[in-house]
Structure 1
Amino acid sequence: MSTQLPRDLEVDVLEKTQSPLDNEVEKEKADSSESVLDDVPTLGEPIDDRATNFFWNRAFSRSAKHAQDLDSIATQPSVFDDPKTIDIYRPPPIYENAHRFDPSARWTWREEYKLVRKVDLRIMLWACMMFFALDLDRGNISQANSDNFLTDLNLTTDDFNLGNTLFRLSFLIAELPSQLVSKKVGPDIWIPCQLTLWSVVALSQFWLNGRTSFLATRFLIGFLEGGFIPDVVLYLSYFYTKREMPIRMAYFWVASYLTGIVSAFIGTGLLRLRGVRGLAGWRYLFLIEGCLTLAVGLASFFLMPPGPTQTKAWYRPNGWFTEREEVIMVNRVLRDDPSKSDMHNRQGLTLQMMYEALIDWRMWPIYCLGLIHQIPVGPPQTYLTLSLRNLGFTTTQTNLLSIPSSVIGIITMVAATYFSEIVNSRVLATVSLQFWALPLLIALYTFTTHTSQWVYFVVVSHLLIMIYRSSRKKDRQVTLITGFPYIHPIQVAWASRNSNSVRSRTVSASLYNMFVQAGAIVIANVYRSDDAPLYKRGNRALIAVCCMNMVIYGLTFFFYRALNKRRDRMWNSWTPEQQREYLETTKDKGNQRLDFRFAY
């Protein structure tokens, strides 16, 4: 939520964030200012720019000025500083952290960043570990493919496509129900339950014996994993501000890339067990990795506290945070977004709440982007290991060749996320994937059956320009590494930011991920067996979708800009008294409020 303070109160709070010299200069201005409502600041733009630039100052400057800033007041101005609006936004008694709400609380940058690092280690790190477990179980089918998995089970590539489709479909179906259960019982209970259950199914793939058991396990794993990502996104929003969430989402998806790297090494080792006791190597892969993720699931019951002020338990009597840290944690989040106190973290959604979130047409453009954004790069990624085996690479080579793409993917994903916050543009950062993919898709379309296996790998491997090696008869080798920006974390945080209420955020996170899974179903069926091995028809479709996506991203930009301009005109046409009356009497909720501005 983004609202404007009376100028005298705004200056008073800003005074506390400045140096003593600045305070003396501003004091005269504060004394002579009048109490009026000004233009509403855009969502996501803090009044004190140091809240945005502090990371860069610390990373790239060691001057005494920036060192001194650590001990200046970090508390940001908010609606809680105005006695006329504080009661409008005061957290209700049902809010689980209400006892730590203190509108007069002040803290320094040193305290805040020390606390954020502590939250990163206690909360964010384990969230990444759980995502690692998710990707390990849903992605090891790729390593299994490099060990003649389909041949052993008498499956065709169309059977493999059907298995992926069922996985995505069940994942999609479970998204919203899982989110609703999580909101009712608490993510600290539901997420560990999910992890434990899908791990049991994942390790049971050791006993696969044909098409039916393969399709059944793919469906069950997808159904049990569905909702995990939006559950975790909502959970993390309890601890972080809207400026911090995109970067944390990038770190969250770093775990996915790390899974690709680690699983490649694990797969390389376990698949070499092929023949031991007369069993295929992929059976050991499913069994061992399933046991690893089961251990993560059981540990999660003890390592996920319900919320910032609920870290104490019988096995953790002192909790993770002091009372002072809890005060800072709660008030910094509420000052950034007062809507986060709308509901208790174990308060379920009513049918009316769900319906209101579903018909929120202002979120539909982001859902549309979730559906289409990965389609251009998805099919080559899905078929990477199968394609490499068909090109003559061994099982070990196939698994190890997937590692460079993961390393480059981490770098480009984090860079794109930081870029989106630096330029304050979600569209500019996310459309970059389409511009990256288009020339590589065109190159892929031009390939023939005589194209070198290494040249094919150059483009197909996640649509990355990675490695070109001359024939073995020659000694020279040319290596060029780069990678496409994975922009999914930016869009996840974008959907969360534009929801502007716990109610809407709960449903929108699920809906966004449902559209992503629907896109994955499309991805699983672009390359067909009758179009193999070059998939000319499929690649033509991918090029067309990529061009269409560029247009849709542009339309999304103009859509949200038009909404914000319309609200600016309406709000600025009112007198301060009318603005105040609106804040006190409005029944608008979430992003319907006229004092809210969309990020784009």
Structure 2
Amino acid sequence: MGRDSLSNEHASPQAEKIPEGKPTGSLAPGLVAFEAEPVPPKGEFFHEVESTGSSGYTENNPFSDPDVADYWRNTYEKAQYECRGEFDPDATWTPEEEKKLVRKLDMRVCFWACMMFFGLQVDRGNLKQAVSDNMLDDLNMNTNDYNLGNTLFLVAFLCAELPSQLISKKLGPDRWIPMQITLWSLVAICQCRISGKGSFLATRVLLGLIEGGFIPDIVLWLSYFYTSKELPIRLSYFWTTLSLTTIITSLLAFALLHMRGVAGWAGWQWLFLIEGIITLIVGLASFFMMPASATQTKTWFRPNGWFTDRELKIAVNRVLRDDPSKGDMHNRQAITPRRLWHAAKDYDMWPLYAIGLLAYVPQTPVDQYITLILKQIGYSTFTVNLLTIPANVFHIMTLLLISRVSGWLNERTLVSMVQNLWTLPCIFALRFWPGMMVNGWGTYAIVTVLLSYPYCHAIVVAWTSRNSSNVGMRTVSAALYNMMVQVGNVIANNIYQADDKPLYHRGNRNLIIINFISIGIFLTTKLYYTQRNKRREKVWDAMTPEQRSDYIRNSTDVGNKRLDFRFAH
């Protein structure tokens, strides 16, 4: 039963209706055979496993069947998977050992990922602080020029997403990411010498081209060390860094913008120079802080590596037992044009791309314009930068909470939709509240509540990785999803226009419409994946145990196109 007979989700002619089944053990590439009883829960791989007491990943070990272990051993060898030497189907470990290892990973891997994201956000987010120091007036520009600069940055960022992922997959994220950070920090430093609209737009484009692809590159690197259940909360730490960075740079901006006049420079020039140097330090350090994989932590400047032999065994096998396909490519293997095309046309991922396109639009204009809005209602340059801090503190809290709730409930769609339900009444208030320009504290309160929204990006990024199902697809889908997010940002950065200020009634009306559409997309995505899983379950249930076993062993269907794959939702 190959691709022709089952990839379109139709049973073979000899398929017979049989009782529902429950997993009895692995029979194929990370999947399981069945005997009478219920099918696995929706949104899960049939092979997904949990830590099962003192023996670690053993009871539901997808490699417990020798045929399955041999299949994947051969796959890893053929792919020259860098961790194949540590693959051990019979390895066991205790939950305590695994928790200790994960803590070490958090300190070495997750922490430095957050530091690199800090470097990204410093240079990506300091423009709105610079404009609070009359940068636009100094350069003879207006808010439409500011919008154009943001738009060109996002278009360049978008165009670089996929090429950056392809370069990263070929060179390895451990090489490419430090190169990216170092290069964009040099451009960021050069911003201190921009003298007009032309040089402003040029640096915006260069920053976008170099920074594009950084986020999916980091997600790919993190996926080498963490299981599918661990990744969302680590990504929530990742995006928590965004808000922490904004808090830190707001305080830093308060000091740096007071340097206006020193050496004849404006405060915003000192801001770009000093924050660019900070990012350069992070970029250079990253060359020494990013191992290519768990088995490649030993080097001339780190002769003992990160792990003991036992920790290394656990680090590799726990990730493979969670998702055996993580070893079907090595970390210096390029994505072929055929893989790229198959990933791009995978319509089952399109609902997540639609979420990326519109879900984050309603919050972005207010975030980009917060310093300008607060200045328009009478706050000083220095007060404005301090007033942005509370929203970022609350944003951290709601981000971590929503990510935890998603994990506790094993629910992605409805939990993520809370973001837009939160935003909607705030935008209504901005559009219809008559005291917008006369009640400064009231306007500030509305803006602060809006920007404290529970950010679902970490959930959706991990969700995209989960539903992609293999390394090649995961690489492309991460880039495509982030490209759609950048398209949404392009839309968002052109909603507030100069002829609509200071109240931006037209812009806020458009944000309300987009917010309602986003809620509809979340609900449609939930329905789509639920129905896709039900159709597959119907076909699977109609097959005999022998047909299932034959399909698992011999089907050429891969990843999320397999009948025994269930989409997370």
- TM > 0.5: yes
TM-score, length basis structure 2: 0.92
* Whole-angstrom CA distance in 2 between matches of 1:462 and 1:188: 38
Indicate how the Cα distance of structure 1 residues 541 and 35 shifts in structure 2: closer, same or farther if over 3 A, else same: closer
1:541 maps onto 2:510 in alignment: yes
1:576 maps onto 2:545 in alignment: yes
How far has the Cα of 1:9 moved from its partner?
7.5
* Whole-angstrom CA distance in 2 between matches of 1:178 and 1:37: 46
* Whole-angstrom CA distance in 1 between matches of 2:255 and 2:177: 30
8 Å contact from structure 1 (residues 380, 462) kept in 2: no
Tell me which moved more, 88-97 or 419-428.
Answer: 88-97
Indicate how the Cα distance of structure 1 residues 342 and 8 shifts in structure 2: closer, same or farther if over 3 A, else same: closer
5 Å-filtered alignment, 1:359-374, equals 359-374=345-360
Give the AA of the match of 1:259: T
State the partner residue of 1:159.
145
8 Å contact from structure 1 (residues 48, 76) kept in 2: no
1:461 maps onto 2:448 in alignment: yes
How far has the Cα of 1:459 moved from its partner?
1.3
Instruction: Choose which of 458, 466, 490 in structure 2 pairs with 1:497.
Output: 466
8 Å contact from structure 1 (residues 419, 429) kept in 2: yes
TM-score, length basis structure 1: 0.87
* Whole-angstrom CA distance in 2 between matches of 1:565 and 1:84: 29
* Whole-angstrom CA distance in 2 between matches of 1:5 and 1:560: 21
What is the SS of the residue equivalent to 2:254?
helix
Greater length-normalized contact order (CA 8 Å, ≥ 6 residues apart): 2
What is the SS of the residue equivalent to 1:492?
helix
State the partner residue of 2:72.
89
What is the SS of the residue equivalent to 2:331?
coil
Instruction: Choose which of 106, 109, 132 in structure 2 pairs with 1:146.
Output: 132
State the partner residue of 1:22.
none
Contiguous gaps of at least 5 residues in structure 1:
11-32, 55-68, 465-482
* Whole-angstrom CA distance in 2 between matches of 1:455 and 1:546: 22
* Whole-angstrom CA distance in 1 between matches of 2:154 and 2:59: 42
State the partner residue of 1:484.
453
5 Å-filtered alignment, 1:373-392, equals 373-392=359-378
State the partner residue of 2:39.
39
State the partner residue of 2:24.
7
State the partner residue of 1:479.
none
How far has the Cα of 1:86 moved from its partner?
2.5
* Whole-angstrom CA distance in 2 between matches of 1:49 and 1:343: 22
1:451 maps onto 2:434 in alignment: no
How far has the Cα of 1:398 moved from its partner?
0.5
8 Å contact from structure 1 (residues 370, 519) kept in 2: yes
Indicate how the Cα distance of structure 1 residues 9 and 541 shifts in structure 2: closer, same or farther if over 3 A, else same: closer
How far has the Cα of 1:438 moved from its partner?
1.1
8 Å contact from structure 2 (residues 26, 61) kept in 1: no
8 Å contact from structure 2 (residues 55, 92) kept in 1: no
Indicate how the Cα distance of structure 1 residues 537 and 519 shifts in structure 2: closer, same or farther if over 3 A, else same: same
* Whole-angstrom CA distance in 2 between matches of 1:47 and 1:503: 19
Deviation digits for residues 1-44 of structure 1, max 9, x if unmatched? xxx9862779xxxxxxxxxxxxxxxxxxxxxx997797345444
How far has the Cα of 1:390 moved from its partner?
1.4
Instruction: Choose which of 285, 288, 302 in structure 2 pairs with 1:299.
Output: 285
How far has the Cα of 1:392 moved from its partner?
1.3
State the partner residue of 1:528.
497
* Whole-angstrom CA distance in 2 between matches of 1:267 and 1:181: 35
What is the SS of the residue equivalent to 1:306?
coil
* Whole-angstrom CA distance in 2 between matches of 1:128 and 1:314: 25
Identity percentage over the alignment? 50
State the partner residue of 1:474.
none
Give the AA of the match of 2:68: T
State the partner residue of 2:558.
589
Instruction: Choose which of 52, 67, 77 in structure 1 pairs with 2:60.
Output: 77
Indicate how the Cα distance of structure 1 residues 364 and 572 shifts in structure 2: closer, same or farther if over 3 A, else same: same
8 Å contact from structure 2 (residues 246, 392) kept in 1: yes
8 Å contact from structure 1 (residues 40, 595) kept in 2: no
* Whole-angstrom CA distance in 2 between matches of 1:335 and 1:47: 8
Contiguous gaps of at least 5 residues in structure 2:
1-20, 28-32
How far has the Cα of 1:280 moved from its partner?
0.4
How far has the Cα of 1:84 moved from its partner?
3.4
How far has the Cα of 1:78 moved from its partner?
2.8
Instruction: Choose which of 183, 194, 197 in structure 2 pairs with 1:208.
Output: 194
State the partner residue of 1:279.
265
5 Å-filtered alignment, 1:64-463, equals 71=54, 73-75=56-58, 77-90=60-73, 91-93=75-77, 94-448=80-434, 450-461=437-448, 463=450
Indicate how the Cα distance of structure 1 residues 232 and 246 shifts in structure 2: closer, same or farther if over 3 A, else same: same
Indicate how the Cα distance of structure 1 residues 417 and 450 shifts in structure 2: closer, same or farther if over 3 A, else same: closer
8 Å contact from structure 1 (residues 75, 108) kept in 2: no
